[in-house]
Every structure is written in C-alpha cells, then in structure tokens.
A and B are shown apart, each in its own frame.
Chain A
C-alpha cells in the first residue's frame, strides 16, 4: 500500500496496514530459537540471551528444547562430520516457516578446522542458511545484529506471487537430504540443490582469454629446415 497514504491516515488517527505486514510482524516478533549449541559460539549465544544483551527484547527469549516448537536454528559452533547428520535431521524436524543462522567461522566454512579430516566445511552444504555471522566467535552484539537482519528479511517476505516465502510454496522442499556415514566421508558430501561452490578459486582459476586475438598477431612464417 502507498506509504504516503498510510502516514496520512495515521496522522488522522486511522491505522491502516496490510495482511502481509501484520503476518510478518507477528512472525518476526516471536522467533523461537532451537535450544542447541555445538561449540564455543554457543557460549556467546547463551551470553546473548542473558540480562546484559537480552535477546528477549526481540521476542526470542524462549529457547525451545524441541525442534517441533522452534522457528530458528542458530548453528553455533564447529560441525564435525559425525554431528552433521543430526544437525540436518533436527532442521528437517522443525516446522515451516523455519530459518537458519550460521554463527561463526566454523558453521560458515569450517573455520580454523577447514582442512581437517573430520570437520564439515560449512553447514550450508546441507541446509539453506539465511544469515551468516562471521567471527571466531562473534560477539553477542554481532549475533543481535544478525538477528535483526533476519527480522528485516522476514519483514520483506511476500505472501503471494512467484517470489513468496518458501513455507507458502508447496513446490519448494522443506526437508533436505540427511547425509549418511560413508567409509571415507559423508555421503553425499554436499547437497547441490542447496549449495554449489562459489566460483572464486584464487590460483586455480584458468587464465583469462588474451585480449588480442591470436589472428591479429603478425604472422610468423613456418620454420623450415634446420633442426
């Protein structure tokens, strides 16, 4: 609806809104996180909920011990390959609409353990992530900022149309493949419907095509005789 008209009505004592705004306001104001943590980032997450930082100001004070009652999964910490299937399974058990915050270097990419044999190189290989919060670990302020970013994201979700939110689109998946323990690694090693490697390969990228086409170079007569 027209924002200018809305403000005009507001000044006249008439509150006008849309169903979409009301619906998103309700959802973003009571995001209940799942009560689980994986490593040191979880300590910062716990600190965020305590009186000094007070995540309850944003309607997220109720950490649910069951995925069935949770809206938000804060992946806080290193995901070992042994733990990854359980994390994906917890996500699958959460009802829509559901969101994921990938908190800290480990949850984003594996962090300092990236080249280890037993650490998953980012939870986004298996489940869709909404907000990434870098840091090792991120401070509570960073988690609050990430949380507010998630709220802004929810505010912008459409209820209808082609770009509507995932939970309103029956064609989009709500559950994702749970990796199995293989003999050498998890199988599959990633879910290509969720994650594809970004095309940034420093030192691996093929050299760009030469600016001058080969045909434009002065023709070199073919070597004859000699060696």
Chain B
C-alpha cells in the first residue's frame, strides 16, 4: 500500500471511528510495507470498521505476529557553540555535546489484513502495549476475524502480551508450566550445552559458560 493510499485510509478511519488515534509507521526498507499504528482503546472499533466498510471489506486476517522492542540506549552528537574560559577570558568555541536518551520499551502486535472480496491488501495494523512488564494488554481481534484465534495464542505464548477478549488464551507451543517468553530479546534459553561437537560463535560462548575453564575435562588432554 502506498503512503498516499495509507494516508487516505487514516483519514477514512479517523472520520468513521470517532476518537481513534491512528499513526502511519513508515518502512524505509525496499519492501516499503508501511503500516498503521492504532490506539488500544479504539482497536476493536477500527478493526470492525476495516472489516465491514463496503469500500474496504478487509475480511481476511492472514497473519498475526509480535515484535519485542526493549529499551535501547541512544546517543547523538551535536556541535554546539559555547562560551569557554580561555587564557584571555571567555571565548566562543564549537563543543561536542552528547545527548543520551532511552527509547521506550514495549511489545507490538502486527496484523496483516487482506480483502478476499475485492482482492486488495495487505493492510498492516500495529498495536502497542504500554511497556514490557505489567501493562501488556492489547485488544483481541478474535471477534472480528476468527483466524486470529490460534495466532493470537501463539503470540501470547512467545511474547507474553495479554489479548483482552480472547476466549481461550492458553499457551500453544510451550507447556502450561513454562513461565518465560521465548521470543523476547532478553530471553535466556536453558543451559543444555553439554555436547556441542561443532561449537562456534554464540554457541561456542554458551558452551564455554557451560564448561568453565577451571573444570578439568578428562579425556581431552
């Protein structure tokens, strides 16, 4: 979908769903798959509108996936003119100023929508959680597209966002007793690196952690 078409769609949504906050997220890569960020409070109403509006008829949700955005340390260097104490009194000088900030941490759900009736798509929707800890609620689109059922369960299983309104939000791939979220960036997988015949890169690092250098391993010498 081109940026112009997406801007039209944004206006269309804001006109028909009062109060909805829609933001266009551009994708600078070659694929240029731009998407719409929807606010959680109006998520369900927007989804209903996209499905039922006669000129859109996005009746098929083909894919639901998640993205983890942990907080990142960012820094930017800028040249600033400043008064500096010189040998002959204050002098104006160019000084490097480093600005540091942390990006907000949140989880994202991404929906890919198509219209089987009109043969259009994909329209890409995003929903964001408040943070990565307690406020991980997003609206479930189960009642809009039934194909979201298993896919939202999978996203819940791997990323840990809570889909409010999903009738059966259980783990799908991992067992019920499992407490981690394996697809989050800070997930540490279990240490079963006892045997790595061709260890390299990250695997080599993990294998070395498993076998501390001090521990003698018989038969290797």
Mark A residues whose CB is within 8 Å of B: 81-82, 109, 115-118, 121, 181-185, 189-190, 197-206, 208-209
Contact = CB atoms under 8 A, between A and B. Distances in A.
Q: How large is the interface on B (under 10, 10 to 19, 20 to 34, 35 or more residues)?
A: 20 to 34
B207 interface: yes
B134 interface: no
A3 to B, nearest CB: 38
Contacts of A189: 190, 192
B71 interface: no
B208 A184 contact: no
Given A82-B173, A204-B211, 18 more contacts: A115-B203, A116-B189, A117-B187, A117-B190, A181-B178, A183-B178, A184-B179, A185-B190, A197-B195, A198-B197, A199-B220, A200-B197, A202-B198, A202-B199, A204-B196, A204-B204, A206-B213, A209-B221
Contact of B217 (A117, A121, A182, A199): A199
B197 A117 contact: no
Task: Please report whether the interface of chain B is mostly helix, strand, loop or mixed according to DSSP.
Answer: loop
24 contacts: A81-B175, A82-B173, A82-B174, A82-B175, A121-B192, A183-B177, A183-B179, A184-B180, A184-B190, A185-B192, A198-B195, A198-B197, A199-B218, A199-B219, A200-B197, A201-B199, A201-B217, A201-B220, A202-B196, A204-B204, A204-B208, A206-B213, A206-B216, A208-B220
B177 to A, nearest CB: 4
Contacts of A182: 177
B200 interface: yes
The 3 closest A-B pairs by CB, nearest first: A185-B190, A197-B194, A205-B220
A199 to B, nearest CB: 4
A205 B219 CA distance: 9
A171 B105 CA distance: 57
Contacts of A202: 196-199
Contacts of A201: 196, 199, 207, 211, 217, 220
